[in-house]
Structure 1
Amino acid sequence: MPGKRLVILGGGGFRVPLVHGALLGRDSPITEVVLHDVDVSRLNAIGRVLRHQAAGVVGAPSVEATTDLTEALTGADFVFSAIRVRGLEGRVIDERVALGEGVLGQETVGAGGIAYGLRTVPVARAIARRISLVAPDAWVINFTNPAGLVTEAMSEFLGDRVIGICDSPSALARRVVRALGVPSASISYAGLNHLGWLTAVRVGERDLLPELLASPAIESFEEGRLFGAAHLRSLGAVPNEYLHYYYDNEALVRAELAAEETRGEFLLRQQRDCYAMLTTTEGDAFEAWDAVRRQRDATYMAMEGLGERDDAEGGGYEDVALALMLAIAQNSRQELILNVRNRGTLPELDDDAVVEVPCVVDGSGARPLPSDGLPSHGVDLVKRIKATDRAVLTAADTGSRALAVRAMAAHPLIDSVPVARRLIAAYQEKLPELNYLT
């Protein structure tokens, strides 16, 4: 099989070594990696990490870097999109403006997620348009957040050749299967990105989830401890960890308001120090980066009540991306939970709505598997969040500030037109990327 060219958009990003590491020492079709970023210093820093990471690895893919998007995309077989418009500084603004109105300050959920989407969608659409012209046969794997919203925006130009990924559903499925003590199982999962539920775990014709919900083992894994056995039994399902922001919103807002720094502020401080170290000090850049990465992973969702997180199980988004690329490149059947166009899978949503569901992947791309559907208690929330996403897409397409306010007000964690107006005004004041809204 001829070698494949992988282009990483956001190639100077902190987590790029995870993707690169997933390619090393594997039977991977990727022989060339191209890093694209608008920040040369970050590209240089991450390029140094990758060189040290690949030292001594036989057959490691070549790595090049560029700030020219067309140059990067030319000849691409796969494009991994992991951009962050306005960087972590933008995330801090997303969080702090929301908290200033007493609503959730979080990267992808609520006010922060809407602000992030409003400044990201125009850029994502422009990138998708460029890909459609320069590399129309490329497969695009989107990890740019808000992942479902951005994947749907890109699908307007790329159709089914853009597929969104997230590691949360796959990690949830692994933890549940491990808690049941079975080697493998068929998972039913349905929802939107960061808004889904695991509703069945089948071995043969038998659904083992009711047994797990009734067992003390339900609190042996992350989501069981996060939500509590009683709540999970009442739901009859295991929610994605991000549902915590909806189920316990008031307590989390209080915790964020009381915290010395937001998650974004922590990451911004950590990454500034890390990039400065990578560009100014000698020694093994990969080891230095990895030490920072371990600290970052260990504190993920600590404010939400999980404390120090054990990341030993691995299998993050980089492995989902690699599994997806391998299945397409080698035309080998694989089942993965992905963000794809609905195509009638969830009857409550239209065919073009991007949903997060189990899919079968092969050389022709990803297709949703038959679904057990949404749990009844989640239908209204999913429909409301999808309506919010659609309002964000329309606001970004038309440049309408009024529609941006409508999108903000429609979100169940805001649910107020006056608050929405103040939020949009504050975000526009601090984010020049939103000046297109008039």
Structure 2
Amino acid sequence: MKLAVVGGGSTYTPELIDGFARLRDTLPITELVLVDPAADRLDLVGGLARRIFAKLGHDGRITTTTDLDAAVEGADAVLLQLRVGGQAARNQDETWPLECGCVGQETTGAGGLAKALRTVPVVLDIAERVRRANPDAWIIDFTNPVGIVTRALLRAGHKAVGLCNVAIGFQRKFAKLLDVAPSEVHLDHVGLNHLTWETGVRLGGPDGEDVLPRLLAEHGDTIAADLHLPRPVVDRLGVVPSYYLRYYYAHDEVVEELRTKPSRAAEVAAMEKELLEMYGDPALDEKPALLGKRGGAFYSEAAVDLAASLLGGAGSAYQVVNTLNAGTLPFLPDDAVIETQAAVGPGGAVPLPVAPVDPLYAGLIANVTAYEDLALDAALRGGRERVFKALLAHPLVGQYAYAEQLTDRLIAHNREHLAWA
């Protein structure tokens, strides 16, 4: 079994390698190719990756290359974890929206749109090259904004599934609070990527007992603290929102916070520099503790589980993924991409039935889906007017004066990445 990781020079990659090594019975990889245009980073990450495999007794072969076509040739699955423009572009996404009084964040709002515009054309080019190399290969997208990128891939006819670590993070946290194995926790997870709610927490499977009320009653303070939301807000909702919902539920508060501290991109850039120095140490043969602060917790477990299921291996039958709505949420178009529990196998991901969604959440889901329609149109066809309309439609922007200012700033900061600008 051959897997290729596009963006293999990322400091995330040792987390993925650790999962591949530990879970080799679930996903028996024989060849792993890390591909990245940054050869210097590849050398450091690739060296550590081989040492991790050796320490944990995995006999798979790890190679590195800057040649995408060579990397994906004959690959059974290709994982996408790229960042067009690097941390420098992310830093811009997180700062210029604040100048207009809007949230600066790399996956949602104006910053998220900028990332989508930079990313979608690059990902589609990669996907076409994967299809030429092996039309049966699965593409697993971890590249943000996952919902929009996955929708672009599916619209173009690629075999693709989107993946995010939010759900598996909740699963692990709830399992710990309940003192059960993570495999025993099944989430009623509904919404869009980075716009989701846990409306039920079931033990044993989709039809198991819903223990969410007990979780909120006994551990509400802990859950609310993790979300950075007041406990009474979580109690009134009666569900567990993704921590990304704070950008919506406490927008102005978050803007003021972001204005008073360094951007997350600046923090990550400093962390990445330190991590790369560590990766260059020939004595290091495990992922360093610092990587846990980098983000992407449990990414490796989720990626292994998904790849194994898609390739006919021992992955879980049910997983939270980003895939076509296909009637699951009746208030959305069939070709919208939702994030939900799905039955996953070699034929792809089929969403499980979802109970009727409370209008409190359905309205926001529909609104952001409409924004994603416009965002994808802007990413595919370009043009200032399309960018403006996408921003005007986003609930974190929503005012024409803000949309005008943000459009100008977005284009100015991303001109080198926008072929039409």
Fold match (TM-score > 0.5):
yes
Q: How does 1:8-407 map to 2 (within 5 A)?
A: 8-25=5-22, 26-27=24-25, 28-159=27-158, 161-181=159-179, 184-203=184-203, 206-213=209-216, 215-221=217-223, 226-259=228-261, 261-276=262-277, 278-279=279-280, 282-286=281-285, 290-297=288-295, 316-332=298-314, 334-407=317-390
Contact 1:98–1:111 (CA<8 Å) still a contact in 2? Answer: yes
Provide the C-alpha distance between the structure 2 equivalents of 1:243 and 1:262, rounded to a whole number of angstroms: 19
Q: CA deviation at 1:395?
A: 1.0
- The amino acid of 1:270's aligned partner reads M
| 8 Å CA contact retained: 2:227, 2:242 | no
Shift of residue 209, structure 1, vs aligned partner: 2.2
For residues 41-81 of structure 1, give each alpha carbon's deviation from its aligned partner in whole angstroms, at most 9, with x where no partner exists: 11111112112222343333211111111111110101000
**Separation of aligned partners in 2, 1:243 and 1:173:** 18
In 2, Cα distance between the equivalents of 1:47 and 1:327?
26
Q: Which residue of 2 aligns with 1:308?
A: none
8 Å Cα contact 2:5/2:35 also seen in 1: yes
**Can you list the C-alpha shifts for 1:283-341, whole angstroms capped at 9, x where unaligned?**
42445x614313435xx9xxxxxxxxxxxxx6x11101101112232355521111011
Given the superposition, is the C-alpha separation of residues 125 and 151 from structure 1 closer, same or farther in structure 2, using an over 3 Å criterion? same
TM-score (norm 2): 0.92
Is this contact kept in 1: 2:318–2:341, CA < 8 A? yes
For residues 206 and 268 of structure 1, the distance between their equivalents in structure 2, rounded to whole angstroms, comes to 43
CA distance in 2, matches of 1:189, 1:57: 34
Residues in 2 aligned to 1:270 and 1:296: alpha-carbon distance in whole angstroms? 7
8 Å Cα contact 2:17/2:49 also seen in 1: yes
Q: Which amino acid aligns with 1:245?
A: Y
Which residue type is aligned with residue 175 of structure 1? K
Cα 1:172/1:225, change in 2 over 3 Å: same
CA distance in 1, matches of 2:302, 2:3: 15
Counterpart of 1:327, as a letter, is S
What is the TM-score normalised by the length of structure 1?
Answer: 0.88
Greater CA deviation, 171-180 or 69-78? 171-180
> Compared with structure 1, are the counterparts of its residues 59 and 175 closer, same or farther at alpha carbon in structure 2 (3 Å cutoff)?
closer
Structure 1: 5+ residue runs without aligned partners? 301-313
Q: CA deviation at 1:104?
A: 0.7
Point out which structure has higher relative CO (alpha carbons under 8 A, 6+ apart): 2
Indicate the residue corresponding to 1:5 in structure 2.
2
Between the aligned partners of 1:370 and 1:105, the Cα distance in structure 2 is: 34
State how far apart, in whole Å, the 2-side matches of 1:56 and 1:205 are: 39
Q: For the Cα contact (< 8 Å) 1:223–1:238, is it kept in 2?
A: no
Q: Report the CA distance between 1:172 and its aligned residue.
A: 1.4
Change over 3 Å in CA distance of 1:224–1:45 after alignment to 2: closer
* Partner Cα distance (1:223, 1:125) in 2: 39
CA deviation vs aligned residue, 1:143-175 (integer Å, no higher than 9, x gap) = 00011111111112344x201111111221332
- Residue 228 of structure 1 and its aligned partner are, at CA, apart by 3.2
Instruction: Give the SS at the match of 2:95.
Output: helix
Q: What letter matches 2:246 in structure 1? A: H
Tell me the distance in 2 between the aligned counterparts of 1:182 and 1:75: 40
Contact 1:173/1:198 (<8 A) preserved: no
